[in-house]
Amino acid sequence: MPQFPAIRMRRTRSAPWIRNLVRETELSSKDLIWPIFVHEGKEIQDIASMPGVQRLPVSQLSKIAKQAKQSGIPAIAIFPNIDPAKKDLRGTEAANPDNLVCRAIYELKSSCPDMGVIADVALDPFTSTGQDGIVIDGKVDNDQTLEQLVAQSLTQVGAGCDVLAPSDMMDGRIGYIRAALETGGHLDTLILSYAAKYASGFYGPFRDAVGSSSALSGDKKTYQMDPANKDEALREVALDIEEGADMVMVKPGLAYLDIAAQVKQAFGLPTFAYQVSGEYAMIRAAAQNGWIDGDGVMMESLLAFKRAGCDGILTYFAPDAARVLG
């Protein structure tokens, strides 16, 4: 290895043109998936813990789809804030073909047919317990939940979604859902599995946004992963691939980049990370206080996902990042 002064690392950093030439990673609006919140009301509601993000009425969604399309954002992920009166222990409303999610899917697809629409599969927006599954005798019952997740999946596919994104972390759900899709003739429906999803404090603002935090008693540690574990994440991903996932996700994002990098390296399939609500809120809050440069840190954080090997990022910054990217 040549040594200093033969080597001066600063030479390739000395001017914008050479920095542009040697840059290893590129972020584009094609890498972004835009998560949006919808609610049953007619007005646009601010979400206190997520400045700049709003709960939208379904009537606004054609506008959102057009904005995404114009910005080059390929896909939108829908999260519903369900009327508490419609919640029960089994999350029955999740399988109602006329529920809020289905109406949102329909609105997005009919106003913008070539926009990718992703629907979460999990019961927490619909359960009175705020848990992702059905609670029986104080425990989230895996196998009964699977039945309901399949019903929710088929309902959402019926409404026209392109991608199912199971975020519930029940065992065996990918295989169950894939089998039901094949049997039902939905051969092209994609599954983006939240394969390695951790029991994280970074989800706090999201639970406010969908209104599951007031319902939630206890935590989700019997199904979401222990933040201490890495080998277990690779096993989770391997299982989901075997069961029929087309793409996998790691969640949260920045604090779990090591996991995302290893997943991409080990399996080589399309790998996404979710820059979750708490990550978004921290950057926004610091920027609002003038403590960091908001746009700068936003772009730096998104680039980090690409550098780690992610194919794309679910981020509430999607419209802002697209604006900066021009």
Binding site for ligand PBG (CB under 6 A): 120, 122, 124, 132, 167-168, 203, 206-207, 220, 276-277
251 is catalytic: yes
- Looking at residue 198, the DSSP 8-state letter turns out to be B
- Please, what's the largest Cα pairwise distance for the chain? 72
Active-site residue among 87, 197, 220, 264? 197
Q: Which is nearer to ligand PBG, 57 or 91 (CB)?
A: 91
Minimum distance, C-beta of residue 122 to ligand PBG, in the bound complex (Å): 3
Cis upstream peptide for 5 (omega within 30°) = yes
C-beta separation of 213 from 130 below 8 A = yes
C-beta separation of 313 from 273 below 8 A = yes
> Using CA atoms, how far apart are residues 108 and 103, in angstroms rounded to an integer?
9
Q: Which is nearer to ligand PBG, 122 or 154 (CB)?
A: 122
Q: Which is nearer to ligand PBG, 50 or 261 (CB)?
A: 50
> Using CA atoms, how far apart are residues 277 and 48, in angstroms rounded to an integer?
12
Minimum distance, C-beta of residue 203 to ligand PBG, in the bound complex (Å): 4
Q: Which residue is nearest to ligand PBG (CB)?
A: 206
Of 207, 271, 262, residue with least CA distance to 231 = 262
Minimum distance, C-beta of residue 15 to ligand PBG, in the bound complex (Å): 39
The phi and psi torsions of 315 (rounded to 5 degrees) equal: -150, 140
Residue reference for tokens 């939240």: 194
Q: Which is nearer to ligand PBG, 125 or 294 (CB)?
A: 125
33: left (phi over 0), alpha (psi -120 to 50) or beta: beta
Provide the token pair at 233. Answer: 């994440």
> Using CA atoms, how far apart are residues 14 and 10, in angstroms rounded to an integer?
6
Q: Which is nearer to ligand PBG, 106 or 317 (CB)?
A: 317
Minimum distance, C-beta of residue 148 to ligand PBG, in the bound complex (Å): 13
Minimum distance, C-beta of residue 96 to ligand PBG, in the bound complex (Å): 18
Q: Which is nearer to ligand PBG, 41 or 201 (CB)?
A: 201
The phi and psi torsions of 54 (rounded to 5 degrees) equal: -130, 155
State how far Cα 226 lies from the chain centre: 19
> What residues contact 46, with CB distance under 8 A and at least 6 apart?
54
Minimum distance, C-beta of residue 116 to ligand PBG, in the bound complex (Å): 17
Of 44, 34, 180, residue with least CA distance to 108 = 34
Q: Which is nearer to ligand PBG, 206 or 305 (CB)?
A: 206
Secondary structure, 3-state, 191-253: EEEEEEEECCHHHHHHHHHHCCCCCCCCCCCCCCECCCCCHHHHHHHHHHHHHCCCEEEEECC
Active-site residue among 87, 109, 220, 251? 251
Provide the token pair at 81. Answer: 């804030």
Minimum distance, C-beta of residue 70 to ligand PBG, in the bound complex (Å): 24
221 is catalytic: no
Active-site positions read 197, 251
